[in-house]
């Protein structure tokens, strides 16, 4: 799980973050100002600073926030000037937007705020609908609103071209003030909450930001997207009352607390209306005590009442945002925050520590216990010395130098809202009065004052501020502070001075912060002098006790050892129930902790390099030499015998009608003649009452494929013969565990018989199935031999733990994978994981891996003249809830996750991202069922459907480590020669949003690399491949190909894209580049070879069609070509997703001659880019002589292929 | 990059080349040829010497044969110690093959246990495993196993099936990660110059302060003489499976990787050869 951050603010206004992998609070030193509250999401953190403005801290990412500005230059032809900017009066502007309605000259584009910068100057876009245009980028038409073409015709009277310029958000990792451009400023903000990113997947980065102003109004920030992190404007949201605090969950839950202590729930929040439509009122959990704080997640609501009690709301979900009832929880908190995965944090009212709710799972949302997060803060030492010095100078600290202490002045401005200067003076002069005695009588043991007289100190300056707000009208606000002063003196004169002063003093004595102690004596006074002056605000008093903190005199803790927290936000903190956090156990003994951490780590990774370990390995091999090597001819004491394991299973019988029948299953293992192990597999079955058996030699088994589905635990066994037939031995075990036991055993047995141990080699061929299983095969030198290569159906594949959609490698052992959820993973060098346990798995480089994918079902409706669209179809129609084909009924309730390994992690939601588009409710229309659907209703449409998606998650283990944080859709690694001395290996990737990225710092020792370098493109990309000599080819989402120029060691990202026209009328989807060969696959399954690629002309000249029914291609460092093919006919059956090998590929004949069929179907991906083993080749000098550059990849790399790329 | 798994394999497949010669005093019909065999370090003498017995019985009369026992340079070899321990304790730093004398008479009842059949070895082996698990997991793991699982451990050893044995033994080597190791480390320290058979006490893998105990820590407490003092000549060798691990090797790791199949860490402390 990637590292993420928990944010918190202490009572001094300092912002800290705690990493999920860390063990200490890191102060956010960048903040020049004290922050009062923060609300975090994964990509950024919003805060309210002491100037009551809102600040945004966007976390730095390798992927920049860029915005593409575009404008069109329009010209008309006239006989005199030719094309010129002299347009007809009725024409559009010379510079306009795409519609021509908006006047947009280049200089009208301004940066939206000081947080932005221009990336470069304006330039002309020379790409038109996937086709390169002429040099100047003009597109021609007969007249303005018309169809444009890239070719000039005789009747082209007008032309236009597109200018582009990018601006970039530069205020990364810093608190940037959100400019308030509005004339009617919302009054100062007091609370803020960010969320709502799960309402819709697109547009990306969309967030809902809700803010509460001091006057109790609620504001919604509109227009926050990935490209516009600051949002555009504040919109006021009408309210039934005055709001104190608001909370917005990741989804559509928004709750707020009213002054009166009720809660309000926002209703009508949807994809189209993130602001929602109305409020519903929910009563406070306890009839007498009002709510003061609320926190919501995806489907949970937590609340805190005035008496610090914590409540959990039952039955909350997207359909019922109000929930059904309150449950009282243990613990007393002043605030609570719900983060990702509905995990909960709180700040205890007792000690102001941050607590984590343990045991929150999707099935037990309320969790189990509160656990204190007890980690030190960075700079704790310096802090303690600072507080010591402040103790010494306490007198001046609270008098003269108050102004210098920004924190204190911050509080003042809070209280006074920065307006009433005189009043703030009053406060400052008032506080010294009450505190200045502290140093004069520090040893005063101060007898325990009667409880009610202990002044309550507000936890948050806002509360008192809000309290003063409660008094109607402005004047009273300014009167409030003097009233406090009055109270002070009254208390002093009332003969209880010593005790009350003692109570007040304790914070200064202990060095505890006074800054936050906005002393609010109203309550104490209210009880003390029932008919006091401020009696009019009794309700205010009770409110002021809301979320207050009673200063316990008995424990004079220093601030340095006990941080006092004011606010916590876990909205960006990604932990779940089985995540191991190191936050809890370092409170007692730091040194022993450090020690044990060290010793723990000894048995984990550094153990690999520890001297003692190395020494044991050396001595063991010495021992082998000493005691065994000279005595190999001795007889072994124990003769190897046969070992049999038996079981019962079901077998998909070979003869028709095919069905599952019960069989006995036995594996006999024995030692072969040369000491190697071997075995035979027997399947005993009854054929018309006659006992028969089927057998397979273990050394002939080429692969064991688990085929988990929701009803059976099955696996398939292939031999070369079975692969030819496309008909494996299919077996089903009774339980998943049993299946895994057998698979692990058979797999070990197969590997033993072939002498395969340990991790895959660097040359290994990797592949993945459509189920996400990962297989690896060791190539023999003969695999690419000419003219008789090893048949691909004889390749032995073994499984590696983990779950991936794509895996890519190169020959120095760098392997990357991408999961279905687009998360990138780097191979750790281990083997096993998953169901492989014990000996079939390495131990110290196996990690937890998760993957998430969506399951889709369709809701189908037919139109009838009476009721319109209903779920009543014709008798001949498909199921009203079905799969994509319509043949199988799939309802929301009966649809299960794909296999028992998967569990649901979300509810069913409408999927709007269907090809063809949808209407606002997600419907797609068509004339009849099986037809092509479109996103809007027409007169001819009688049926409609919409897609529902539900996410499920799988957790497994494997030799993979996550590479956060950018999700990827494709990755490619430079194929190196076998004995390559290349240090830093070029690795390129496409983010799942289509950005092109270049990874820096990838070496054989650090395969994960260090950081991304963003490579600008004018449109999103989808496939990329880097071949020898750093030839980078990529495919854009519109199906066009690009070649990247000038990529070199010094300039790893190259300098410009060259647009390569696609094969006519085809949209390309994938590219793979080997030593010199460039192959692409288009969306119709055609495989294309790029002709004319030469060192001097790396872009090549034209596409040549090679094959159809191709799904994917992988070209290796020897220019070997492997594909995943569809529709491969075997002798028994047809298979889709089959691994195929191009035969006859030679330097002079890079296109090869025919296909050889290997393992399949159900294969999704293959990479042969690690296999740089030169096959034993019959040397024909005449073949290699004319092309010396092609003899070996090394010589190719040495020639400066990209020195001067020819522009196209 | 070597994996810890390789250590397990190396430990399991450790072999000692041995030359069995018949005792001079035995009455034979004709001269007995010596018999050469690779003995598994982790097994037991009486378990792997069927061939030896068969070989010598060919030259002997049935009436002259009593229970077979072994002796090395005058010391009767205890079959209930693993072969590797016997070798390290008595014969390390000698020339290979290890020369063992075979006796069929005058069984030294005072020194050796009788071993009438393999079931006695099995009982001894299983009781060792149970004892070790009592130390490691309060017997929880071994008690959770079924009879056939116990059998699998024994059959694995008897038939020299590494995979079969470790498929089960793996469970005995697990421990909760938060505890950092077993409850106690099952170990035995052997020495030649003592009447005590071996030292066996309770010792935890992790100190109360949370740091991992090392081999050095163990010896310091159990056998301080085995650790050379500052500037002093090394007087003793600390041998496990024929190798001398560094004293800073974590004990928990040793217990997981260098234990014998009986789950005990057998440590031999022998005098440093003088030459």
Cβ within 8 Å of B, A 729-748: 748
- What are A462's two structure tokens? 């806002």
pLDDT at site B28: 77
Residue in B49, B166, B242 nearest the CB of A627? B242
Task: Band the pLDDT of A987: cuts 50, 70, 90.
Answer: very high
Distances (CA, A) of A824 to A1, A705, A819, A969, A993: 11, 24, 7, 9, 14
Higher per-residue pLDDT: A68 or B228: A68
Give the whole-angstrom CA distance, residue A413 versus residue A1177.
83
Which pairing describes strands A15-19 and A5-10: parallel, antiparallel, or unpaired? antiparallel
List of residues 6+ apart from A173 with CB closer than 8 A: A30, A57, A58, A59, A60
Number of folded domains that form chain B: 2
Residue in B4, B15, B253 nearest the CB of A627? B15
Residue A359 has pLDDT above 70, yes or no: yes
Q: What is the mean pLDDT of residues A778-806?
A: 88
Q: What is the mean pLDDT of residues A167-185?
A: 79
Q: What is the mean pLDDT of residues A653-665?
A: 88
Q: Do B135 and B51 reside in the same domain of the chain?
A: no
How much of chain A exceeds pLDDT 90, in percent? Answer: 24
Residue A453 has pLDDT above 60, yes or no: no
Contact (CB<8Å) B3/A640: no
Higher per-residue pLDDT: A560 or A1004: A1004
Residue with tokens 């091999």: A621
Contact (CB<8Å) B37/A637: yes
Strands (E) located in A913-1009? 923-926, 943-958, 960-963, 968-973, 987-991, 996-1000
Residue pair B65/B57 in contact by the 8 Å Cβ criterion: yes
Nearest to B45 by CA among B101, B128, B126, B127: B101
Q: What is the mean pLDDT of residues A723-748?
A: 88
Task: Band the pLDDT of A672: cuts 50, 70, 90.
Answer: low
Q: What is the mean pLDDT of residues A750-768?
A: 89
Residue pair A251/A196 in contact by the 8 Å Cβ criterion: yes
Using the 3D structure, point to which of B72, B103, B134 is the last residue of a domain.
B103
* Residues in a beta bridge with A1103: A1090
Task: Band the pLDDT of A446: cuts 50, 70, 90.
Answer: very low
pLDDT at site A979: 59
- What are A446's two structure tokens? 């101060």
Å between A593 CA and nearest CA of chain B: 7
Contact (CB<8Å) A623/B206: no
Question: Which range, of A403-412, A810-819, A1058-1067, A1160-1169, averages the lowest pLDDT?
Answer: A403-412
Distances (CA, A) of A859 to A874, A892, A915, A921, A950: 15, 10, 16, 12, 13
Task: Band the pLDDT of A1127: cuts 50, 70, 90.
Answer: confident
Higher per-residue pLDDT: B139 or A421: B139
pLDDT at site B82: 93
Q: Is residue B233 part of a domain?
A: yes
* Residues in a beta bridge with A1060: A1041
Residue pair A795/A1157 in contact by the 8 Å Cβ criterion: no
B38-59: buried (b, 16+ CB within 10 Å) or exposed (e) per residue? bbbbbbbbbbbbebbbebbeee
Residue A555 has pLDDT above 80, yes or no: no
Residue A658 has pLDDT above 80, yes or no: yes
Q: Is residue B208 part of a domain?
A: yes
Q: Do B126 and B258 reside in the same domain of the chain?
A: yes
Q: Do B94 and B158 reside in the same domain of the chain?
A: no
Residue A423 has pLDDT above 70, yes or no: no
Q: Do B36 and B87 reside in the same domain of the chain?
A: yes
Q: Is residue B109 part of a domain?
A: no
Q: Do B93 and B179 reside in the same domain of the chain?
A: no
pLDDT, tens digit, for every residue of A563-590? 789 999 998 888 876 666 778 764 433 3
- Report chain A's terminal Cα–Cα distance, integer Å: 45
Residue pair A959/A846 in contact by the 8 Å Cβ criterion: yes
pLDDT at site A642: 72
* Residues in a beta bridge with B187: B265
pLDDT at site A866: 82
CATH of the domain at B157: 3.10.20.90
Taking residue A533's Cβ as centre, other Cβ atoms within 10 Å add up to: 12
Residue A220 has pLDDT above 70, yes or no: yes
Nearest to A483 by CA among A532, A553, A552: A532
pLDDT at site A1087: 94
- What are A536's two structure tokens? 């009019």
Residues of B in contact with A844 (CB under 8 A): 3-4
Contact (CB<8Å) B5/A622: no
Contact (CB<8Å) A596/B180: yes
- What are A1131's two structure tokens? 């002798």
Give the whole-angstrom CA distance, residue A1059 versus residue A131.
8
Q: Do B252 and B187 reside in the same domain of the chain?
A: yes
Residue pair B112/B144 in contact by the 8 Å Cβ criterion: no
Residue pair A1000/A1012 in contact by the 8 Å Cβ criterion: yes
Residue A796 has pLDDT above 90, yes or no: yes
- Chain B CB within 8 Å of residue A1005 CB: no
pLDDT at site A295: 94
Residue A97 has pLDDT above 50, yes or no: yes
pLDDT at site A997: 92
DSSP B23-57: -TTS--SSPPPPEEEEEETTS-GGGS-HHHHHHHH
Q: Is residue B110 part of a domain?
A: no
Q: Is residue B111 part of a domain?
A: no
Q: What is the mean pLDDT of residues A151-179?
A: 87
pLDDT, tens digit, for every residue of A882-928? 888 878 888 888 888 888 888 898 888 888 888 778 888 888 888 88
Which residues form the domain of B9? 2-103
Q: Is residue B98 part of a domain?
A: yes
Which pairing describes strands A943-958 and A815-818: parallel, antiparallel, or unpaired? unpaired
- Beginning with the edge strand found earlier in the chain, give each strand of the sheet holding B69-72 in spatial order: A635-636, B35-40, B15-22, B98-103, B69-72, B75-76
Q: Do B71 and B35 reside in the same domain of the chain?
A: yes
**Kind plus residue range of the DSSP H or E element containing A159:** strand A158-169
Give the whole-angstrom CA distance, residue B255 versus residue B266.
9
The low-confidence residues of chain B, meaning pLDDT below 50, are 1
Burial of B84 (0-12, 13-18, 19+ CB in 10 A): buried
pLDDT at site A1070: 95
Give the whole-angstrom CA distance, residue A274 versus residue A870.
28
Residue in A592, A623, A839 nearest the CB of B163? A839
Mean pLDDT, rounded, of chain A:
77
Q: Do B159 and B204 reside in the same domain of the chain?
A: yes
Q: Is residue B93 part of a domain?
A: yes
Task: Band the pLDDT of A38: cuts 50, 70, 90.
Answer: very high
Contact (CB<8Å) A611/B246: yes
Q: Do B159 and B245 reside in the same domain of the chain?
A: yes
Contact (CB<8Å) B250/A603: yes
Interface test with A, best of B16, B243, B245, B248 (most A CBs within 10 A): B243
pLDDT at site A574: 84
Contact (CB<8Å) B250/A611: no
Question: Which range, of A425-434, A1112-1121, B62-71, B103-112, averages the lowest pLDDT?
Answer: A425-434
Using the 3D structure, point to which of B54, B76, B103 is the last residue of a domain.
B103
Residue in A595, A616, A843 nearest the CB of B211? A595
CATH of the domain at B92: 3.10.20.620
pLDDT at site B6: 81
Interface test with B, best of A579, A581, A590, A599 (most B CBs within 10 A): A599
List of residues 6+ apart from A951 with CB closer than 8 A: A852, A853, A854, A855, A904, A905, A906
Q: Do B39 and B137 reside in the same domain of the chain?
A: no
ipTM of the complex: 0.91
Residues of A in contact with B17 (CB under 8 A): 627-628, 630-631, 634
Residue A724 has pLDDT above 80, yes or no: yes
- Chain B CB within 8 Å of residue A609 CB: no
Q: Is residue B113 part of a domain?
A: no
Considering A27-31, A111-115, A1019-1023, the range whose residues carry the highest mean pLDDT is A1019-1023
Residue pair B132/B85 in contact by the 8 Å Cβ criterion: no
Q: Do B99 and B131 reside in the same domain of the chain?
A: no
Task: Band the pLDDT of A933: cuts 50, 70, 90.
Answer: confident
Using the 3D structure, point to which of B103, B126, B142 is the last residue of a domain.
B103
Residues of A in contact with B258 (CB under 8 A): 616
Q: Do B163 and B267 reside in the same domain of the chain?
A: yes
Contact (CB<8Å) A638/B7: no
By C-alpha distance, the chain A residue nearest B37 is A635
């Amino acid at each position: 799980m990637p590292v993420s951050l928990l944010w918190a603010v202490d009572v001094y206004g300092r912002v800290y973050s705690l990493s999920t992998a860390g063990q200490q609070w890191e102060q956010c030193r960048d903040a020049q100002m004290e922050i009062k509250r923060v609300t975090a999401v994964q990509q950024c953190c919003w805060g309210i600073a002491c100037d009551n403005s809102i600040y945004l801290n966007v976390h730095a990412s390798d992927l920049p926030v860029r915005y593409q500005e575009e404008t069109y230059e329009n010209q008309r032809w006239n006989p005199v000037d030719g094309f010129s900017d002299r347009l007809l009066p009725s024409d559009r502007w010379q510079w306009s937007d795409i519609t021509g309605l908006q006047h947009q000259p280049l200089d009208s584009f301004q940066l939206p705020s000081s947080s932005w910068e221009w990336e470069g100057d304006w330039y002309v876009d020379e790409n038109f609908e996937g086709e390169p245009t002429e040099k100047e980028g003009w597109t021609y038409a007969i007249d303005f609103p018309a169809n444009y073409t890239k070719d000039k015709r005789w009747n082209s009277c007008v032309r236009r071209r597109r200018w582009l310029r990018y601006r970039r958000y530069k205020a990364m990792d810093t608190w940037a003030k959100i400019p308030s451009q509005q004339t009617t400023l919302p009054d100062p903000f007091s609370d803020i909450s960010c969320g709502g990113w799960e309402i819709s997947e697109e547009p990306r980065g969309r967030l809902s930001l809700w803010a509460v102003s001091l006057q109790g109004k609620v504001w919604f920030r509109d227009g926050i997207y990935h490209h516009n992190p600051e949002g555009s404007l504040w919109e006021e949201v009408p309210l039934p009352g005055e709001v104190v605090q608001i909370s917005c969950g990741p989804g559509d839950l928004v709750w707020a607390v009213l002054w009166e202590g009720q809660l309000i729930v926002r209703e009508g929040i949807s994809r189209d209306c993130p602001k929602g439509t109305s409020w519903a009122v929910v009563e406070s959990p306890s009839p007498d005590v009002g709510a003061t704080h609320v926190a919501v997640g995806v489907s949970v609501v937590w609340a805190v009442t005035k008496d610090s009690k914590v409540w959990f709301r039952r039955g909350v979900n997207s359909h019922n945002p109000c929930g059904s009832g309150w449950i009282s929880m243990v613990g007393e908190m002043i605030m609570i925050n719900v983060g990702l995965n509905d995990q909960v944090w709180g700040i205890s009212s007792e000690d102001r520590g941050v607590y984590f709710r343990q045991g929150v799972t999707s099935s037990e949302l309320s969790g189990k216990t509160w656990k204190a997060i007890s980690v030190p803060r960075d700079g704790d030492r310096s802090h303690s010395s600072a507080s010591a010095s402040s103790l010494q100078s306490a007198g001046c600290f609270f008098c003269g130098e108050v102004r210098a202490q920004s924190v204190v002045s911050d509080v003042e401005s809070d209280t006074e809202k920065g307006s009433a200067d005189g009043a703030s003076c009053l406060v400052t002069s008032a506080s010294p009065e009450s505190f200045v005695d502290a140093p004069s009588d520090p040893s005063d043991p101060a007898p325990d004052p009667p409880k009610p007289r202990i002044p309550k100190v507000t936890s948050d300056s806002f509360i008192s501020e809000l309290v003063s707000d409660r008094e109607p009208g402005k004047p009273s606000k300014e009167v409030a502070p003097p009233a406090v002063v009055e109270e002070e003196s009254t208390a002093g004169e009332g003969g209880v001075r010593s005790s009350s002063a003692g109570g007040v003093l304790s914070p200064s004595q202990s060095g505890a912060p006074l800054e936050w102690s906005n002393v609010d004596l109203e309550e104490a006074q209210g009880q003390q002098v029932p008919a006091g002056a401020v009696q009019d605000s009794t309700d205010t008093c009770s409110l002021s006790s809301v979320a207050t903190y009673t200063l316990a005199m008995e424990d004079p803790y220093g601030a340095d050892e006990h941080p006092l927290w004011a606010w916590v936000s876990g909205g960006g903190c990604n932990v779940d129930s089985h995540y191991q956090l190191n936050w809890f156990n370092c409170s007692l003994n730091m040194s022993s902790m450090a020690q044990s951490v060290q010793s723990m780590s000894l048995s984990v990774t550094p153990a690999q390099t520890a001297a003692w370990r190395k020494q044991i390995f050396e001595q063991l091999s010495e021992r082998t030499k000493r005691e065994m090597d000279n005595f190999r001819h001795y007889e072994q004491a124990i003769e190897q015998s046969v070992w049999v394991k038996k079981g019962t299973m079901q077998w998909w019988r070979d003869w028709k009608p095919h069905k599952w029948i019960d069989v006995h299953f036995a594996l006999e293992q024995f030692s072969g003649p040369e000491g190697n192990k071997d075995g035979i597999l027997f399947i005993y079955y009854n054929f018309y009452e006659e006992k028969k058996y089927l057998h397979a030699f273990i050394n002939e088994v080429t692969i064991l494929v688990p085929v988990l589905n929701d009803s059976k635990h099955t696996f398939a066994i292939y031999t070369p013969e079975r692969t030819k037939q496309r008909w494996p031995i299919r077996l089903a075990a009774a339980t998943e565990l049993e299946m895994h036991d057998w698979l692990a055993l058979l797999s070990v047995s197969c590997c033993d018989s072939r002498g395969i141990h340990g991790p895959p080699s660097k040359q290994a061929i990797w592949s993945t199935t459509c189920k996400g299983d990962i297989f690896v095969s060791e190539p023999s030198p003969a695999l690419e031999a000419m003219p008789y290569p090893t048949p691909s159906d004889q390749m032995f594949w073994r499984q590696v733990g983990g779950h991936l959609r794509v895996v890519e490698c190169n020959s120095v052992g760098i392997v990357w994978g991408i999961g279905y959820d687009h998360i990138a993973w780097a191979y750790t060098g281990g083997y096993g994981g998953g169901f492989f346990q014990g000996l079939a798995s390495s131990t110290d480089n196996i990690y937890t891996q998760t993957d998430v994918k969506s399951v889709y079902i369709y809701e189908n409706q037919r139109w009838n003249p009476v009721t319109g669209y209903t779920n009543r179809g014709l008798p001949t129609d498909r199921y009203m809830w079905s799969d994509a084909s319509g043949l199988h009924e799939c309802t929301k309730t009966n649809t299960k996750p794909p296999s028992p390994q998967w569990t649901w992690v979300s509810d069913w939601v409408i999927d709007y991202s269907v090809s063809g588009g949808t209407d606002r409710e997600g419907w797609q229309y068509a004339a009849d069922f099986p037809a092509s659907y479109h996103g809007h209703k027409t007169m001819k449409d009688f049926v409609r459907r919409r897609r529902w998606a539900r996410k499920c998650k799988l957790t497994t283990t494997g030799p993979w480590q996550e590479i956060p944080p950018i999700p990827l859709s494709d990755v490619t690694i430079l194929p190196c020669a076998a004995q390559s001395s290349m240090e830093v290996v070029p690795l390129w990737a496409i983010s799942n949003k289509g950005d092109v990225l270049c990874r820096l710092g990838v070496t054989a020792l650090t395969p994960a690399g260090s950081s991304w370098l963003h490579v600008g493109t004018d449109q999103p990309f989808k496939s990329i491949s880097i071949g020898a000599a750093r030839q980078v080819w990529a495919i854009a989402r519109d199906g066009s190909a690009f070649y990247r120029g000038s990529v070199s060691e010094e300039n790893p990202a190259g300098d410009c894209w060259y647009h390569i026209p696609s094969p006519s009328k085809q949209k390309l989807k994938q590219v793979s580049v080997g030593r010199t060969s460039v192959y692409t696959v288009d969306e119709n399954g055609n495989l294309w070879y790029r002709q004319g690629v030469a060192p001097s002309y790396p872009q090549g000249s034209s596409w040549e069609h090679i094959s159809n029914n191709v799904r994917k291609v992988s070209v290796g460092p020897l220019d070997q070509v492997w594909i995943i093919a569809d529709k491969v006919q075997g002798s028994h059956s047809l298979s889709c997703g089959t691994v195929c090998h191009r035969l006859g590929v030679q330097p002079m004949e890079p296109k090869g001659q025919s296909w050889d069929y290997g393992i399949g179907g159900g294969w999704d991906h293959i990479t042969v880019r690690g296999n740089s083993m030169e096959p034993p080749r019959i040397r024909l000098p005449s073949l290699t002589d004319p092309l010396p550059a092609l003899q070996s990849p090394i010589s190719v790399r040495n020639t400066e292929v990209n020195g001067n790329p020819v522009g196209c | 990059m070597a994996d810890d798994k390789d250590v397990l394999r190396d430990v399991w497949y450790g072999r000692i080349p041995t030359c069995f010669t018949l005792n001079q005093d035995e009455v034979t019909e004709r001269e007995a040829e010596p018999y050469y065999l690779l003995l598994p370090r982790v097994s037991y003498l009486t378990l792997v010497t069927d061939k030896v017995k068969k070989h010598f019985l060919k030259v002997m009369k049935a009436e002259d044969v009593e229970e077979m026992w072994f002796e090395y340079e005058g010391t009767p070899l205890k079959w209930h110690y693993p072969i590797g321990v016997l070798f390290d304790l008595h014969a390390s730093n000698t020339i290979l093959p290890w020369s063992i004398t075979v006796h069929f008479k005058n069984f030294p009842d005072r020194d050796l246990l009788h071993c009438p059949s393999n079931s006695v070895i099995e009982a001894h082996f299983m009781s060792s495993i149970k004892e070790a698990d009592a130390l490691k997991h309060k017997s929880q793991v071994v008690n959770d196993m079924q009879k056939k699982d116990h059998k699998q451990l024994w059959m694995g050893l008897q038939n020299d099936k590494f995979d079969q044995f470790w498929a089960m033994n793996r469970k005995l080597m697990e421990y909760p990660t938060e505890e950092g190791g077993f409850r106690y480390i099952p170990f035995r320290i052997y020495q030649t110059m003592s009447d005590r058979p071996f030292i066996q006490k309770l010792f935890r893998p992790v100190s109360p302060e949370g740091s991992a105990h090392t081999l050095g820590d163990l010896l310091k407490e159990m056998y301080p003489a085995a650790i050379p003092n500052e500037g002093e000549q090394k007087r003793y060798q600390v041998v496990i499976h024929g190798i001398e691990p560094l004293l800073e090797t974590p004990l928990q790791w040793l217990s997981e990787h260098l234990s014998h199949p009986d789950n005990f860490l057998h440590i031999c402390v022998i005098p440093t050869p003088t030459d």
